[in-house]
Structure 1
Amino acid sequence: MNKSWLSKERLIQYLLIISIITVSIIGLYVLQLLTRDALLKIFNAINNVLIPFVIAFFLSFIIGPLSTWMHEKLKIKRSLAIVFAILIGIIFILAILGIAIYFIVTQLSAVLNSLLLLIDNTSLEGIINDVIALITDYFANSDITDIIDEMSQNGASVERIILLAGSLLASLTRFTSSFVSVIMVFVLTPVFMFWLVKEKTLIFTTLSKVAPKGFRPHVVELGKRSDVVIRNYFKGQGLMMLIIFGFFSVTLGALSFFIPDFPFYYAIVFATLMGLFNIIPYIGAWLGVLAPIIFLLTKHLEMQQSLLGGNIFLIAIVIVIALQLIEQGLEGSIIQPNVLGKQVHIHPLAILSALLFFGGVFGFVGVLLAVPLTGTIKAALEYFGEINDENEKKEKILIEEEKKKGEVKEKVTTPPKKKSILGGKPKNGDQKWEEYRFLKSYIMIMQHLGPFRGCLLG
């Protein structure tokens, strides 16, 4: 019989698990209160190493094929091919960042200049006076004014100087720490990438040996599946970027012929930015479309300033938004399912949750790598689900075999029925049918004459 799901043994197990979890949470909370600064330092140290390693790990799937192609086709040594591939990747990323920063700065400055020129001088002076008044009131109600007055009139006290110097030193320390962390990321990422590309197989083979023997096959299989998922993601994402770049190059390029002061090469730049920003799921597509919208809005404000109208730029903005909606519809219904495939098909809610979680842990880098990380976790969950299904099938087979063995034992232990002295009734039409009838009649007669046999024989 099956045991009840709330039997005494199960209840004890559940209570034990809940007790262990509760005690662990309380212990971690107390430990965090006692060693808050130490844990924060340890977390920051781990984060400083983990961020460049994670970036290098995922970029190695892009740099690896490029270095392999250079090694096989151009006959360059393996190490040099990896170095050249990393340098090409760094130059490409810096070029894209430089173009994006230059465009953002120039366009924002143009928008601000246009807005300032549209505002009349009287209104501008009033706004400036209001801002100055707010700043003056803030400093008048703060301790900074008291410190300045005390330092200028009565001389600064030692306590005030120490307090001010301490706050300045703390701010400088935080800035220096952040700056050093950024530099370490830029320095360590290429180093990690080099060794991950060159010795990836050796590294993961060594890591798998650390696991217990019974778990090693699972570690190897998880590594293979994660490798397939991440490769498929980057291949699919690269192809999607090319498709988006081609779509907006054609559409924005055609639009540039009908819009004044909209050069064709600007359309190519916008298409490139929109394709690259697409690596950030859902959010990146709309961040990329801001570039042409800001540009067209700037042109509209300039035309408004010169009293020449400029409604054509507003129409162009509407067209750009419509093109973005069309592209998003095609991407969600046709491009993404066919390009990325089932390997990285993840629910939108899971992707948005991953963006928030990994973005909170790793910052902007976590936002970029949220999808491949989620795909890796999904592959691991699917693998363990398959193992669970296989174990359930094996259990069912064992139960069926045990049932069959039990039925055989019952048949063996059941006593056989006593056979008749006639050896069973022969079938009608058999040759021994007449003999059978004779013997049966004889036995019946002898049974009836049983009490008289003694007399007859006596």
Structure 2
Amino acid sequence: MENNSKRFPYSLDLASSLFAMALILAFMVATQSVLIPLLFSILISISLFPLARFFERLRLGKAFASILSVIIAIAIIWVIGWFIVHQSIIIGKDASSITDKVVSVLERAQSWVEQTFGIQRTAMMDQLRDQGNKMLSNAGTMASATFGSIGNILAGAVLVPLFSFFLLYYRDFFREFFFKAFKSVPQSKVHATLNKIYDVVQSYLLGLVTVMGIVAVLNTVGLMLMGIEYAWFFGTLASLLMLLPYIGIAIGSILPALFALAVKDSAWYAVGVIAWFQVVQFLEGNIITPNIVGSKVSINPLMAIIAILLGGMLFGLSGLILALPLTATIKVIFDAIPSMQAFGFLIGEPEKEHLKRNSTQELLMKWGIVRKPKMEKKIKVDIQVDATSPNETTKIQYKEINQSAEHPYEDLDRENKNDQTND
């Protein structure tokens, strides 16, 4: 029986895939008011799944276990928020003294600029006044955006716990949906892909929480050694900003540095704060995170930065937070689809063989572009005959010499052409 199925050119398949991806992105941007709370709920429900299973083993029932897990998550988030607000209020009580020191620092900075660059203070004040007028002229737009963000936060505060509860309670129902949606794929493969997505996302989230705790301790210890007040507040706040990958700790170092500049007599304290936070960021990126998260979330730094930039461009702050777990999930899905495995490979981390000094030659040999070097064996023989001794003796010494061919990496195409010519 003849197969009448038509195979489309690769360029047409690629164009259709890119067009479908563009439509999906447009749909995500148009529905982000619902989609973003749903994505956060998925992440929270995955992180709460072990807790819900623990309560279910205590025979509490699936519904009650799901509700209790969500309540515990709300309580933890509320405690963290209360700590930040409480410490901000305490710091605000000393606002007058801090303001006086900040003003004195600005006075010294103005004097330094005037002496170094010859810019008069009146010119600087005119520039500040102009910037202030521009900010006031845009106050209406800023206020509307602020109230819109507050509205989104309040909506998320209601939707995220609700979505998280239903995702935990109906988890088996959603799993069967995927079995029905992908009937043409072996069900064992669908099951394994879902489990791998769960493992990757949970490893990222639990690893992130653990790393945030370690970074908070390191930040706080460094600030305490430098004598910076409210060290726990600044250290914890900087660790919470790790939700913004690669830039969170750097942003978190600005506030304690400004505080140190205001309350300390020397500017070297601010420099020390920034330097210590950069050391902590180096330790986090090269030692702490790789050892805790491991190789389950394997995204190379280039693709991670691109994903973060695209997430921020599409969804703002929420996109920055969701970029890495979504990229890790997309990689698992690409690895499970044969036609998309190349893109999953592109997102993942390079292997050691890609980073060797002679990796290009090994790569060409791996894909059959060049052949392996031929070794020509030669034997050097040295015969010594001693005719002067009564018993004539002969000594034979030989040494094996390995010499590579003159052109060990000739193209296989050229070799095949030569074979065809000889035929």
Does residue 357 (structure 1) correspond to residue 310 (structure 2)? The answer is yes
**Which protein has the larger Cα radius of gyration, Structure 1 or Structure 2?**
1
Please show how residues 55-454 of structure 1 align to structure 2 within 5 Å. Answer: 55-72=40-57, 76-100=60-84, 114-116=101-103, 127=125, 131=129, 180-214=151-185, 216-256=187-227, 262-263=228-229, 266-300=230-264, 310-311=265-266, 314-384=267-337
Letter in 2 for 1:293: A
The alignment partner of 2:299 has SS state of coil
- The one-letter amino acid paired with 1:276 is L
% identical equivalent positions: 25
- Name the amino acid aligned to 1:51: I
Go from structure 1 to structure 2 and tell me whether the alpha carbon gap of 1:294 and 1:93 turns closer, same or farther (over 3 Å shift): farther
CA contact 1:337–1:345 (8 Å) conserved in 2 = no
Deviation, structure 1 residue 376: 1.2
Measure the CA separation in 1 of the matches of 2:78 and 2:37: 17
Structure 1 residue 196: Cα displacement? 1.1
Task: Select the residue among 13, 31, 34 that pairs with 2:9.
Answer: 13
1:32 aligned partner: none
TM-score, structure 2 as length reference = 0.61
Gaps of 5+ in 2: 1-5, 108-120, 343-423
Q: Distance in 2 between matches of 1:352 and 1:335?
A: 19
**Residue 32 of structure 2 aligns with which residue?**
47
* 1:71 positional shift: 5.0
Shift of residue 21 of structure 1? 8.2
Q: 1:290 to 1:67 in 2, by over 3 A?
A: farther
RMSD: 4.4
Q: Per-residue deviation at 1:350?
A: 1.0
* 8 Å CA contact 1:82, 1:197 repeated in 2: yes
Partners of 1:94 and 1:113 lie apart in 2 by 33
Count of aligned residue pairs for this structure pair = 317
CA pair 338-212 structure 1, distance change in 2 beyond 3 A: same
Change (3 A) 1:332 1:113: same
Q: Higher strand proportion, which one?
A: 2
Shift of 1:276: 1.9
Please give the per-residue CA displacement for 1:52-103, whole angstroms capped at 9, x wherever unaligned. 1100000112222334445556x65543343233233223324434544666
Provide, for residues 190-219 of structure 1, a one-character-per-residue CA deviation record: whole Å limited to 9, x for no partner. Answer: 111001122212212223312233365443
Show the counterpart of 2:387: none
Question: Matched residues in 2 for 1:134 and 1:330: separation?
Answer: 40
Alignment check: 8 A CA contact 1:274 1:285 kept:
yes
Q: CA deviation at 1:385?
A: 5.6
Contact 2:334 2:341 in 1 (8 A): no
Q: Alpha carbons of 1:355 and 1:245: their partners in 2 closer, same or farther (altered >3 Å)?
A: same
2:242 partner letter: N
TM-score, L = length of structure 1: 0.57
